[in-house]
């Protein structure tokens, strides 16, 4: 937010890092029952362990 980048590559890298480290991992997704991706992955992992 309000960052100034010297090159387009620096801007792309910063946006990618934000999306991968915060936006996709910490926000809740309605398609996942309002769980974060990590919560959903843990839930699915635990369920698959209980089935095996």
CA distances from 51 to 20, 38, 47 (A): 30, 20, 6
Instruction: Map out the domains of the chain as residue ranges.
Output: 8-51
CA distances from 16 to 12, 19, 22, 23, 29 (A): 6, 5, 10, 10, 19
User: What's the token pair of residue 11?
Assistant: 């801007």
> Mean pLDDT, 10 residues at a time, over the chain (52 residues)?
90 90 82 91 89 66
Q: What angle do CA 26, 28, 31 make, to 5 degrees?
A: 135
Nearest residue to 36 via CA among 46, 15, 22: 22
The predicted structure's pLDDT at residue 52: 59
pTM of the model: 0.54
């Amino acid at each position: 937010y309000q960052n100034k980048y010297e090159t387009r590559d620096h801007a792309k890298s910063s946006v990618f890092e934000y999306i991968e480290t915060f936006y996709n991992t910490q926000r809740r997704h309605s398609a996942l029952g309002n769980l974060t991706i990590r919560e959903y992955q843990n839930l699915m992992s635990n369920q698959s362990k209980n089935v095996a």
